[in-house]
């Protein structure tokens, strides 16, 4: 597996990581624990060294799963986790007060069964807590040896600059894919300037860009996609043209739409490491295949031109959650 370095931090990770949220949270019932452990072990065997979790995934069960599954590989893999909600519950608002950051760090260390958290992201900017206090708290945790690197998720450029001035940020994690390209406007140029790595989440458009979801797909009643406007039946139908584009390029390249979506992300910048999520071994293998898929300048131009003609329909978050991003 090829490696990439997140910005100027020196933190080296596999060119593709594994998003672990869906194993416990967000997309219907949690996966079977034994099966998920087997999958995580397979990921390590296949060269993945970058695993993404959060206290909020469950809450807590996803961190516990990773703590158990990855215990044999301590020191050989990078586990990123996140703080920022009261009791880890995304329904209870935000909480990045220093005392909460500290108590989440202690609890995450125990659940992950590690001596230090490799990468500790603020999950969402909390406008009730000055960014300097958040970054200062993580800085203290780093000097105490409890955290190795600081990250931010779905943060706005102004917050990133403020935080970075107090404690250098290693990585920013935000949604980015062929159907959500806003990060190209202000975020990616700022990260490049500051030497911060970028970790695109939902790099497969929460599954949509793989071509395995259409307007007839029924999601489990607990699936988050039921409340995402972009996943309404009408919008899935309207957005199919993006999947058609990916399928066309995929068939020309002898690849799959998922692989084209991931290879496109990898081609954008050398300091980008996507974290596709899956609960299935064959999809993990398929997604890893994108790392060795080289898109030529001509391929990229063709995708660019065709994508420019497509108007994606529907917001990526319902209104109450949209308010939390880009702050």
Ligand X SMILES: NC(=O)c1ccc[n+]([C@@H]2O[C@H](COP(=O)([O-])OP(=O)(O)OC[C@H]3O[C@@H](n4cnc5c(N)ncnc54)[C@H](OP(=O)(O)O)[C@@H]3O)[C@@H](O)[C@H]2O)c1
42 burial (CB, 10 Å; 0-12 / 13-18 / 19+) is middle
Indicate the SS3 state at residue 302: helix
**Distance of closest approach, residue 143 Cβ to ligand X, in angstroms:** 25
Q: Which of residues 112-141 bind ligand X (CB under 6 A)?
A: none
Count of residues interacting with ligand X (CB under 6 A):
28
Q: Which of residues 14-53 bind ligand X (CB under 6 A)?
A: 19-22, 27, 52
Our finding on whether 154 is near ligand X (CB under 6 A) is yes
Which residue's C-beta sits nearest to ligand X? Answer: 19
Residue among 142 and 209 whose Cβ is closer to ligand X: 209
- Looking at 160-168, 273-281, 288-296, 310-318, which segment touches ligand X (CB under 6 A)? 273-281
Category of 206 on φ-ψ map: left (φ > 0), alpha (ψ -120 to 50) or beta? left
* Cβ within 8 Å of residue 129, ≥6 positions away: 96, 97, 98
57 given a catalytic annotation: yes
**Distance of closest approach, residue 240 Cβ to ligand X, in angstroms:** 15
Q: What is the DSSP letter of 186?
A: T
**Distance of closest approach, residue 145 Cβ to ligand X, in angstroms:** 25
The C-alpha atoms of residue 317 and residue 221 are separated, in whole angstroms, by 17
Which of 4, 148, 164, 283 is in the footprint of ligand X by CB under 6 A? 283
Our finding on whether 77 is near ligand X (CB under 6 A) is no
The C-alpha atoms of residue 206 and residue 266 are separated, in whole angstroms, by 17
Return the closest-CA partner of residue 245 out of 287, 201, 218, 208: 208
Q: Are 57 and 68 in contact (CB under 8 A)?
A: no
Q: Which of residues 236-265 bind ligand X (CB under 6 A)?
A: 258
- Looking at 93-101, 109-117, 187-195, 279-287, which segment touches ligand X (CB under 6 A)? 279-287
Which residues on adjacent β-strands are paired with residue 180? 177
Which of 90, 122, 202, 239 is in the footprint of ligand X by CB under 6 A? 202
Site map (CB under 6 A) of ligand X, residues 158-177, x = contact: ---------------x----
Return the closest-CA partner of residue 48 out of 16, 81, 12: 16
Contacts with ligand X by CB under 6 A lie at 19-22, 27, 52, 153-154, 173, 201-207, 210, 212, 258, 275-280, 283, 286-287
Which residues are tagged catalytic?
Answer: 57
């Amino acid at each position: 597996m090829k490696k990439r370095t997140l910005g100027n931090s020196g933190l080296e990770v596999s060119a593709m990581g594994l998003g672990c949220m869906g194993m416990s949270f967000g997309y219907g019932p949690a996966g079977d624990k034994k099966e998920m452990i087997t999958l995580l072990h397979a990921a390590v065997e296949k060269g993945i060294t970058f695993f993404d979790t959060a206290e909020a995934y469950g809450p807590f069960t996803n961190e516990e799963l990773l703590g158990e599954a990855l215990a044999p590989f301590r020191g050989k893999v990078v586990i990123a986790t996140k703080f920022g909600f009261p009791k880890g519950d995304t329904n209870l608002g935000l909480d990045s007060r220093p005392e909460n950051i500290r108590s989440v760090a202690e609890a995450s260390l125990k659940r992950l069964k590690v001596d230090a958290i490799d990468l500790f992201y603020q999950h969402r900017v909390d406008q009730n807590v000055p960014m300097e206090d958040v970054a200062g708290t993580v800085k203290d945790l780093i000097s105490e040896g409890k955290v190795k690197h600081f990250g931010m998720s779905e943060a706005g450029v102004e917050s990133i600059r403020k935080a970075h001035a107090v404690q250098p940020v290693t990585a920013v994690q935000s949604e980015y894919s062929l159907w959500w390209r806003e990060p190209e406007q202000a975020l990616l140029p700022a990260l490049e300037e500051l030497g911060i790595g970028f970790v695109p989440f939902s790099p497969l458009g929460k599954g949509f860009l793989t071509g395995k979801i259409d307007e007839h797909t029924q999601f489990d009643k607990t699936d988050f996609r039921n409340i995402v406007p972009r996943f309404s039946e009408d919008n899935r139908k309207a957005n199919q043209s993006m999947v058609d584009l990916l399928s066309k390029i995929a068939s020309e390249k002898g690849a799959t739409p998922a692989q084209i979506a991931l290879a496109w992300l990898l081609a954008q910048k050398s300091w980008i490491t996507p974290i596709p999520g899956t609960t299935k071994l064959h999809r993990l293998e398929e997604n890893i295949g994108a790392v060795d898929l080289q898109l030529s300048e001509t391929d990229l131009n063709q995708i660019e031109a065709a994508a420019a003609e497509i108007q994606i329909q529907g917001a990526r978050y319902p209104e109450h959650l949209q308010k939390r991003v880009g702050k």
